[in-house]
Amino acid sequence: MLESAGRQIAEKIAFYVQSSNSSRKESLDKLYKTMATIGQKAQERGLTSEILESLLNEDD
């Protein structure tokens, strides 16, 4: 579920940040690479799926 929502968000972000010099696919590829790097660094720092889910479900 989170992966599907993340992909939808990524596609929307890529659409809005797409520059005139790059294609939609290139923008998505760059965004996915950035998201993967962020995820990898978060895991290296101890973030687990359970912690992420609890953070996402917190009431502000």
Q: Mind listing the pLDDT tens digit for each residue in 24-57? A: 788 888 889 999 999 999 999 999 989 988 988 9
Cα 5 to Cα 32: distance, rounded to the nearest angstrom: 13
Cα separation of 52 and 24, whole Å? 29
Q: 46 is in which domain, residue-wise?
A: 1-57
**Residue with more model confidence, 17 or 20:** 17
Q: Predicted confidence band at 11 (pLDDT cuts at 50, 70, 90)?
A: confident
User: Which residues contact residue 13 at a Cβ distance below 8 angstroms, ignoring those fewer than 6 apart?
Assistant: 31
Tokens 């992966």 locate to: 3
Q: Give the relative orientation of helices 2-17 and 49-56 as an angle to the nearest 10 degrees.
A: 70
Using pLDDT thresholds of 50, 70 and 90, give the confidence band for residue 20: low
**Number of domains, the chain:** 1
Residues 10, 39 contacting (CB under 8 angstroms): no
Q: What is the pLDDT of residue 14?
A: 75
pTM value is: 0.56
